[in-house]
Amino acid sequence: MRRSLIPPALVRLAVIGWLGLPGEALTWTLLTIAAPGAYLLTDVLAGLSRGHRRVAVRGRLRQFADHAWR
């Protein structure tokens, strides 16, 4: 999915979860918040599993921090 479509899709997920889908609103809110985090987490874990050196790991963690605050 294109990056420009992610925020509207997350808002739509939250609203549909709050209004129409079964379950607690808090559950849907947490899933909406966790969705972008899952991409970042898998990206960092994939980079670490490739056996990069410590310098590369620091770069990955810096990249993760940069993406997390966008």
Residues in the chain where the model's pLDDT stays below 70: 1-3, 51-57, 69-70
Q: What is each CA distance from 3 to 6, 29, 48, in whole angstroms?
A: 5, 20, 24
Q: Which domain holds residue 34?
A: 3-68
**Predicted local confidence at residue 55, as pLDDT:** 58
Tens of pLDDT along 3-22? 688 889 999 999 999 998 89
Q: How many domains does the chain have?
A: 1
**Total Cβ atoms within 10 A of residue 34:** 10
Q: Residue 51 has what pLDDT?
A: 62
